[in-house]
Amino acid sequence: MYRAPIALPAGGLDQISNPLAMPDGYASSVENVVISREGVIMRRQGRTLLQAGHDFHSIAETNHGLLVGKGPGLFRFYPDVNAPELIMNLGSIGPIDFTDYNGHTYLTNGHGVWWMPATEHGARQCGVSLPDRLPAMVAHPDGALVAGTYAVALSVVDDNGEESPAAVLGQVELPNGGGIQLTGIDSSDMTLTYRVYLTPPDGDALYLSESFSAAFSQYLVTRQPDGAIQATRNLSRLPGGQFIRGMNGRIYVASGDTLWFSQAMRPHLCNRAHNHIRFVGDIRFIEPLTAGLLVADNRGVWMLEGTDPTTARQRLISPTPVMAGSSIRVPATMTLRTQLPSAAVIWLSADGYMVATDTGETESLNQKRARVSVDGRGKTVITEHQGTTQLVTLITSST
C-alpha cells in the first residue's frame, strides 16, 4: 500500500471553505483511501487488467481455479497466461452462480447445472441421461428366468459411477421361462454401462438383474432379479437456476420462486413432483449453515431448520428486504466488530450488512450508517487491506 505524502486532515472534512484557502488539518473530500484508527491515510489498491474484451458476466475463485463466464463460454484464467482456457460452451448467455462442495465445483446459469469433479480438469453436466434410442426386447427360449411375466427397466452408469434415471421398457411374458433379448442397443458411448432391472415373475418391484457394457449392440438377459432395488425411477436432472449450493449430501438450486433439492444419496437427480419448495417472489440467495439452509425471498430471510428439506420447519430470521446475490459465507476466523463465534453468512440488506451465525442468530452490522436500495443485484467479496478485513459489494442496478 502507498502512504500518501500529504498532511493529515486531523481536523476532519471542511466542505464550506474555498478549496484554495483550506485551513491546515482539513480536507474538502477524501476518496479512494482508507483511514486507519491512528489517522494514517492509505490509498486503496489499484487494478490490473487481466484480459481485455467484452461479454464478461460472471467470475468466481473456486477449487478449480479462477472461473469466468464470457458469452456462452465457461473459461479458466491463469495468473501468468494471457489467453483464457475454454472449459466448455454452456449453450446460453446468462449470469453463472458457482459453489464448491465436497471438493467439487458446481455451477448453474438458469439453463442447466454442471459440475467439475474434484479429480477432473473439465466440466460435465450434472446427472446422466439415457441414450436417445432405447433397445427393443423380445422373449428368448434360452436363459435361467422362470416362467412368468417380467417388467423390464433400463438405466445407464457413466464412467464416474453415477446412474441415470430409469426407463421402463415394458413387459415380456415367458410362458416356459428362458431369457429376454435386448436388440438395437445404442453403443455410441462405450464408456457407459447398462443396468437391467426386472420384477420377479408376475411381481411389481424392480430389482437389478444384470449389467453389461455399452459396447454390445444386443444382449441376452438370463439372470433372476436378485440385486439392488431400482432407485432412480421417476427422477430427472436438477433444473437450472440463479443460485446453487450444497448441504448434507444434497444440491440445492434456486430458480425463480422455487427451491429445488436433489434426492437423498442422489445429489444430481431430483423428483420434480416432490423435491421443491415454493417461496414468495424470486429467491434472492441461498446459503447453508449448521442450523439449516438460509433462503431469502420478498419477505426477508428464512431458515429451513434441520438436515432434511422434506421435513424442515421454516423460520423467519430477518424481515428486512435483501439485495439479490449479495450473500457470502465467511469463516469464524474473520473479525467484524467482534470475533465471530462460528462460521456465518453476511448479506446486504436495506439496513446495510446483516450477519447470521451458524445457529441462525442475526444482527445488523451498520444499520445506523447505511441505507441501501435492494432493487439491484450484488456480489460480495472479502478483501484484506493492511491487516484489516473488508467486505466489498459490487452492485448492478436494476434500472
Q: Give, in degrees to the nearest 5, the angle at Cα 37 between 33 and 40.
A: 50
**pLDDT on residue 396:** 83
**Contact at 8 Å (CB) between 312 and 331?**
no
Average pLDDT over residues 40-69: 84
pLDDT of 41 above 80: no
Extents of the domains making up the chain: 1-46, 136-221
Give pLDDT tens digits for 94-128. Answer: 999 999 999 999 999 999 999 999 999 999 999 99
Residue 9: what pLDDT?
Answer: 52
Are 69 and 88 within 8 A, CB to CB? no
Q: Does the pLDDT value for residue 5 go beyond 60?
A: no
Instruction: Answer yes or no: is pLDDT of 384 > 80.
Output: no
- Express the helix, strand and coil content of the chain in percent, nearest 5 each: 0, 45, 50
R_g of the chain computed on alpha carbons: 28
Tell me the pLDDT band of 28, cut-offs 50, 70 and 90.
confident
Which amino acid, one-letter code, is at 373? S
Q: How far apart are CA 278 and CA 254, in angstroms?
A: 10
For the record, the C-alpha cell of 162 comes out as: 453415477
Instruction: Please determine, for residue 11, whether its predicted confidence score (pLDDT) is greater than 70.
Output: no
3-class secondary structure, 21: helix
pLDDT exceeds cutoff 50 at 1: no
pTM: 0.87
Give the model's pLDDT for residue 310: 92
Highest mean pLDDT among 10-24, 180-194, 329-343: 180-194
What is the reported pLDDT for 269? 97
The CB-based long-range contact list for 188-191 (8 Å cut-off, 24+ gap) reads 188/131, 188/214, 189/131, 189/214, 190/214, 190/215, 191/158, 191/159
At residue 221, φ and ψ (nearest 5 deg) are -90, 120
Nearest to 254 by CA among 289, 300, 285: 285
Residues ≥6 apart with Cβ < 8 Å to 94: 57, 109, 110, 111
